[in-house]
Amino acid sequence: MGLKVEDVRPYAVAARFHNESLEGVDKFEMDDETYKARQAQTNADASRAELAALSSDLRVGARCQVQLGSTARRGSIRYVGKTQFASGIWIGLQYDEPVGKNDGSVQGERYFDCKALFGGFVRPEKVQVGDFPEEDIEAELQDEEEIESPSQGPILAPPALSHDCMPGGDAVVYEVKRREIWAAFNNEPAASALLRARGASKSTKKKPKMCVGAVLATSSAARRMAQQSPSRSSFKISAPARSESSGQPASSRPSPRSRADAKARTAIGPFTPLSAGLLVATSIALFFYFQSEKAEVERRKANEKKNEKVGRPRIGGEFSLVMPVLGRGSEGESIEARSFTEKDLVGAWTLLYFGFTNCPDICPEELDKMGKVVDQIDSKYGAIINPIFITCDPARDTLAATSTYVSEFHPRMVGLTGSYEAVKKACKAFRVYFSTPPGADPSNDYLVDHSIFFYLMDPEGKFVDAFGRSQTAEDVHAKVEGFISRWQSEGNALGRADIKTRVREDESRKVPF
């Protein structure tokens, strides 16, 4: 019997392994493509592991609330994963209000689709998923004015005319005509047509127009309408009495009295009670016709105003800021403050941007783009557009800092600043988000998170369009020129961009700051 003894102690096994020859062992080699594929798989596994570590509630389509500084915003999750603009996991959101920074794309890479100013990306720790209802933008705004339709007035009937001067036969004929007209006015179809002519009915888009023929109906038509309305007062029409001997109407036989009356009527002239009745009926018809035309014009104007309210976003409103101007005092040149409100936007086109003077890259790029657009418009139309910069960092952007900053981008550019509350009100009017705290220390070096858009306002001070960072100067210029051409084709004045000069020369605007 043989006995095999083997040393299995770890250090003994390791020593034996090192003493063995490795010449017969094949070398393991991997080409570059296989290595890159394994590396990509490793990164993908790491990304899935990182996503799995997140809350299972962070899914596309979930409602959420985002805490941005001291402000909470609501929206829906549209993207969860890694991005090309920054490392780590990001949550793509579509806000309920236009307080975002993009439309779902960043630096040319699209992650989801939404309207401009509604998209944004935040870190997962800032997102709280829950059953958050959508925010109602109109709840913060004033109620829309209701346009009331004209009330239905009473059905008018032609006035009764005196016919005492008429002889027997003519009086009967006139009375028949007058009663037929009355029946036509009190008949339901005729009354409905009359109301539609006055603009009080909405049952049809095409409104019939009144005329004399619609009022003075023929005898047969009036009788038919009167018979179709049994609820109306009925009446009988008695024919003239006939002579027993000749069978002809008694009033048709000539008599000395009738010949005398005929001569009297001829002497009076063409103006008879019948012609007076026709004149009154014509006047009534013309009155209702012009009333209906007036109501139609007012209805069109009301619809235009209503469509304008529905079609335009509620961007812009009241604000009160200050504009720095160079003044002269007892000690030489100094910076003075002039008041500037939303009324100063009226009279010329405006390109308006919100930012801060300590911005390292984005604000200078956007203001350079704005300056190029203004120069291109000036080359064709002249000075018709005012470039305006409003600070989101009033703690550090003083009068002097704002004045020096805007002068580097365009000679006509206006810089506006003010107190924190005044700047906050202006930003809210234009739906601009910014995160500067009220008690920010000007000596500290900090960045201000804000919306990156500039706005186009027409010469009436109304919002026209907004342009984001992804649009080039050529894109913005093409759109702005299109709006200006359409405005000019409608016969409107282009205005003059002289707000900087007017504010500087108006001493009554001087305010302490």
Annotated binding site: 359, 363, 450
Bridge-based pairing of strands 63-68 and 127-129 is antiparallel
> Quick check: 352 and 430 in contact, CB under 8 A?
yes
Tell which residue, 452, 362, 473, 470, has the closest CA to residue 110: 470
What is the number of other CB atoms lying within 10 angstroms of the CB of residue 240?
13
Q: What is 179-248 written as a DSSP string?
A: HHHHHHHHSHHHHHHHHHHTT---S-SSPPPP-HHHHS--HHHHHHHHHT-TTSPP---PPPPB-TTT-S
> Quick check: 393 and 358 in contact, CB under 8 A?
yes
Instruction: Return the amino acid letter for 285.
Output: A
Q: Is 495 helix (H, G, I), strand (E, B) or coil?
A: coil
Taking phi over 0 as left and psi of -120 to 50 as alpha, with beta for the rest, 465 belongs to beta
Burial of 355: CB neighbours in 10 Å, binned 0-12, 13-18, 19+ = buried
Sign, CA torsion 358/362/366/371:
positive
CA 141-466-320 angle, to 5 degrees, is: 55
Q: What is 74-119 written as a DSSP string?
A: EEEEEEEEE-SSSSSEEEEEEESSS-SSBSSEETTEES----TTSE
* Count of residues making up the chain: 513
3-state secondary structure 386-405: EEEEEECCCCCCCHHHHHHH
Query: What is the signed CA dihedral for 477, 346, 428, 465, rounded to 10 degrees?
Result: -30
Annotated binding site for Cu cation: 359, 363, 450
> Quick check: 373 and 473 in contact, CB under 8 A?
yes
d(CA 308, CA 464): 12
> Quick check: 316 and 429 in contact, CB under 8 A?
yes
d(CA 361, CA 475): 21
> Quick check: 393 and 348 in contact, CB under 8 A?
no
d(CA 156, CA 228): 20
Specify the residue for token string 């005898």. 219
